[in-house]
Structure 1
Amino acid sequence: MRVLLTTWGSRGDVEPLAGLAVALRELGVGTRVCAPPDEDFVALLERAGVPLVPLGPTVRSVVAGPKPPGAEEAFELAPRLVAARFETLTAAAEGCDALLATGLLPAGAPDVAEKLGLPYVLACFHLLGLPSRHFPPGRRPGTPSSPDETDNRVLWRQDAERVQALYGPAVNSHRAAIGLPPVGNVRDQVFTDRPWLAADPLLCPSAGKTDLDVVQTGAWFLPDERPLPEGLEAFLDAGEPPVYVGFGSMAAYAPEGIARAAIEAARAHGRRIVLARGWAGLTPVDDGTDCFAVGEVNQQALFPRTAAVIHHGGAGTTTTAARAGAPQVVVPRVADQPHWAARVAELGIGAAHPDPAPTAESLSAALETALAPETAARARAVGREIRPDGAMVAAKLLVELAG
């Protein structure tokens, strides 16, 4: 048995697929992973023993400019990704028994599955994009809804229209080329009536939150056995647990001056700092020996040895920090990040920074909450409740679906 897994997005979209691929391998199932060909992702999948089949352009080439991509870039990227999926997935699906897609709306993936007669699953890592009568859709390129419109049913219908304008022409053009009829609602075709939610039930409860019949598997972890760099080990051993600061794949989305603000905030509390460079290229502000800069690092090994984690609120970082029992300060910027920030605060395992433009003073105030003994105790308690088996749950479901 073989399963095709595909995504296009940040590390938070790629690493869970690697975790799922490892779980499938434990069940004797082969996998192919189609993902963006960024060097970071190639290395990540090699570490998992899963070769990467390149899909579309690199993510860094799209997001690493001086400004975040806008509507014009989105309307240029959408047909490129649709074309890449029709071409790449059709070839990669040879000999496969099912197709699972995730990441940036994978328009084209269900069409390939339909043409080849394969079972198709859409997996997501949060609830933000799933239609719901309880909350409005997030922002999307295209004609905006009226600010006076408050009916969520209307807003979600308009969201589907924006998706159709963004992806519909390319999808239907490629469908026609392979003898399939046009699709009038690409969004709902991609989502299906029964998407899978690869998020921890405690961090992201789903009951009654969406109009779809969500299958929640738990988060998909890629086991990481890599040792920490020797220099970092020595730094950790030389003093009290530091504050970790990292904004992952945010690149142009990272707050301006975040490195200086976070370092000054940590120092105000007498804490040392581990600064992750990430795609934003964060660097120390001086030669102080209390700040250690790292590149790609094993967060599963590092986070349990920190006093707090300051980050952007991506699903992966939030869940890894929660599982490690590390208090968090979440500075949300886009997409699902405000949800994770709010949930961290609601659970009492950290603080949600109220402003996307943090200062040393505002971060210091948030750190005061995160570093409080009661927050640390609560974070440790929640960490023991995070399910570690989400990838295996999903792998067994995929085997059942494909077999």
Structure 2
Amino acid sequence: MRVLLSTIGTRGEVQPMVALATALRALGAEARLCVPPDFREWVEGLGFPVVPIGPALRGTASGHGFRPTPERLRELAEGTVVTQFATLPEAARGCDAVVAGGGLQFAARSVAEAAGVRYVHVSYCPVTLPSPHHAPPPLALQGRPLAPDTADRRALWAEDADHVNATFRKALDSGRAEVFGLPPVGDVRGHTLGDQPWLAADPVLGPWPGGDVLGTAGPPWQPGAWLLPDDTPLSPALEDFLAAGEPPVYFGFGSIRATPGLPEAMVGAARAVGRRALVSRGWAGLSLVDDAEDCFLVGDVNQRALFPRVAAVVHHGGAGTTTAAASAGAPQVVAPQMYDQHYWARRVHELGVGAAHPPAPPTAGSLAAALRHALHPDTAARARTVAATVRADGARRAAERLLAGTEGE
């Protein structure tokens, strides 16, 4: 039994697929991953074959205020679909199922259809799936803002479907016809989602609001978040820093672009609340503002080992970091910039496990205010309570369902 796991995105999209691959291997199945080249060395180091797809993504975190023109966006959209049709058929050769993760997997279902194998679409956040209970997530590159609570959500999702069709349908239909001789599709988003998408999000942190996924046959299946087991030790230098004082505040913004003055804001906020600062470089290559002993800079780090030992986690609101902090019982401050990050900020606030920073560039003052809320004893206690509810078996449940469904076909 062999499964192709395909995604295009940053660590937040790739790591859940690696978690599913690990669960599949534990059940005796084989997993092959199709991911951006940034992650090839890491994934192959875990023992999985990798087919790289598209250009490296790490450089996208540099610069400020980057917004492609509409023409450039169309070129990028067509290019990613063409690349998928050029890469995925060979990657899927010999596979019994294709699992496509994230919102950019437009060719994967066509590849599975042509091969006659099972297809599953997976999302990592409820608001990325169409529902009358929430609006589409904001897309900064398209200039789409957060929708007001009074908005007609069905109308917004219809507009979103029109946009997806206008952007991707021509390239998708071309690839289907030229590569496989398949007919055109009418609704790109519905085609991509399939009959029943999977929602790999924790049901307490990110519950499905109820009802069907618009354009599909029913609600999503929600096994829980796909968490990657990780026994990587923390570095000796980081261990020394942790042992040298009270738990620090962790600041990490992953692959997100850094706003001007972000390092100064992070360190200034930590000092304002009397805490040490642990700063992640991230893809933006952040650095410390001085050589003081109350700050420490880290690169890639095992969050599951680190987060139980920090006072709070300040981050951008990616699904993976939100879940890792919640499962560790660490209070959070979420400073969202785009897409599903606003949803996770709201959920952290609603659950009482931290603070949602306003959707504006963080300053030392704004981060300090949010940290004071997150570090309150009541918030810390609530974070520990919620941690006990976070599922740890989501990836295994998904692997079991995938194998059972495929073997039954």
- Scaled to the shorter chain, the TM-score interval is over 0.9
Q: Say whether residues 1:292 and 2:290 are aligned partners.
A: no
1:242 to 237, 248, 251: 248
Structure-2 change in CA distance of 1:303 and 1:150 (3 Å): closer
Match of 1:180 in 2: 182
Match of 1:124 in 2: 123
- The question of whether the paired residues in 1 share the 8 Å contact of 2:23 and 2:396 is answered with yes
Q: Say whether residues 1:153 and 2:173 are aligned partners.
A: no
- The question of whether the paired residues in 1 share the 8 Å contact of 2:19 and 2:228 is answered with yes
Match of 1:111 in 2: 110
Q: Say whether residues 1:164 and 2:165 are aligned partners.
A: yes
Match of 1:367 in 2: 371
Deviates more, 1:42-51 or 1:136-145: 136-145
Deviates more, 1:334-343 or 1:104-113: 104-113
Give the Å deviation of 1:192.
Answer: 1.7
Instruction: Give the AA of the match of 1:74.
Output: L
Match of 1:202 in 2: 204
Structure 1: 5+ residue stretches without partners:
none
Instruction: Give the AA of the match of 2:207.
Output: P
Instruction: Give the AA of the match of 1:229.
Output: S
2:232 to 226, 240, 245: 226
Q: Secondary structure at the match of 1:227?
A: coil
Please list, as runs of the form range in 1=range in 2, the aligned pairs for 1:70-85 lying within 5 A after superposition: 70=68, 71-85=70-84
- The question of whether the paired residues in 2 share the 8 Å contact of 1:193 and 1:213 is answered with no
- The question of whether the paired residues in 2 share the 8 Å contact of 1:5 and 1:17 is answered with yes
Q: Deviations over 1:43-67 (max 9, x none)?
A: 3313432132101112224554444
- The question of whether the paired residues in 1 share the 8 Å contact of 2:64 and 2:259 is answered with no
1:272 to 268, 273, 276: 276
Match of 2:49 in 1: 51
- The question of whether the paired residues in 2 share the 8 Å contact of 1:15 and 1:44 is answered with no
Match of 1:7 in 2: 7
- The question of whether the paired residues in 2 share the 8 Å contact of 1:62 and 1:69 is answered with no
Q: Say whether residues 1:385 and 2:396 are aligned partners.
A: no
Instruction: Give the AA of the match of 1:370.
Output: A
Give the Å deviation of 1:135.
Answer: 2.5
Give the Å deviation of 1:24.
Answer: 0.1
Count the aligned residue pairs: 398
Match of 2:285 in 1: 281
1-structure distance, mates of 2:42, 2:393: 20
Match of 1:318 in 2: 322
Give the Å deviation of 1:156.
Answer: 1.5
Match of 1:91 in 2: 90
1-structure distance, mates of 2:131, 2:15: 27
Instruction: Give the AA of the match of 2:165.
Output: Q
Please list, as runs of the form range in 1=range in 2, the aligned pairs for 1:25-40 lying within 5 A after superposition: 25-38=25-38
2-structure distance, mates of 1:277, 1:258: 11
Give the Å deviation of 1:94.
Answer: 1.2
Instruction: Give the AA of the match of 1:155.
Output: L
2-structure distance, mates of 1:167, 1:331: 31
Give the Å deviation of 1:289.
Answer: 0.7
2-structure distance, mates of 1:359, 1:59: 27
Instruction: Give the TM-score of the pair, scaled to structure 1.
Output: 0.94
2:352 to 323, 348, 353: 348
Q: 4+ residue stretches of structure 1 with deviation over 6 A?
A: 141-145
- The question of whether the paired residues in 2 share the 8 Å contact of 1:266 and 1:273 is answered with yes
Deviates more, 1:134-143 or 1:277-286: 134-143
Q: Secondary structure at the match of 1:123?
A: strand
Structure-2 change in CA distance of 1:46 and 1:360 (3 Å): same
Instruction: Give the TM-score of the pair, scaled to structure 2.
Output: 0.93
Structure-2 change in CA distance of 1:306 and 1:63 (3 Å): closer
Give the Å deviation of 1:28.
Answer: 0.4
1-structure distance, mates of 2:158, 2:117: 28
Give the Å deviation of 1:3.
Answer: 0.4
- The question of whether the paired residues in 2 share the 8 Å contact of 1:277 and 1:295 is answered with yes
2-structure distance, mates of 1:163, 1:244: 37
1-structure distance, mates of 2:330, 2:200: 21
* Percent identity over paired residues: 53
Match of 1:337 in 2: 341
Give the Å deviation of 1:76.
Answer: 1.8
- The question of whether the paired residues in 2 share the 8 Å contact of 1:2 and 1:31 is answered with yes
Give the Å deviation of 1:87.
Answer: 1.9
Q: Secondary structure at the match of 1:216?
A: coil
Give the Å deviation of 1:137.
Answer: 2.0
Structure-2 change in CA distance of 1:365 and 1:33 (3 Å): same
2-structure distance, mates of 1:48, 1:72: 39
Structure-2 change in CA distance of 1:287 and 1:338 (3 Å): same
Instruction: Give the AA of the match of 2:3.
Output: V
Give the Å deviation of 1:100.
Answer: 0.3
2-structure distance, mates of 1:387, 1:271: 30
- The question of whether the paired residues in 2 share the 8 Å contact of 1:160 and 1:185 is answered with yes
Q: CA RMSD in A?
A: 1.9
Give the Å deviation of 1:131.
Answer: 1.4
Q: Deviations over 1:84-111 (max 9, x none)?
A: 2112110011111000001232111111
Q: Deviations over 1:107-152 (max 9, x none)?
A: 111111111111100000002222111222234567979x999432
1-structure distance, mates of 2:234, 2:142: 45
1:190 to 192, 196, 206: 192
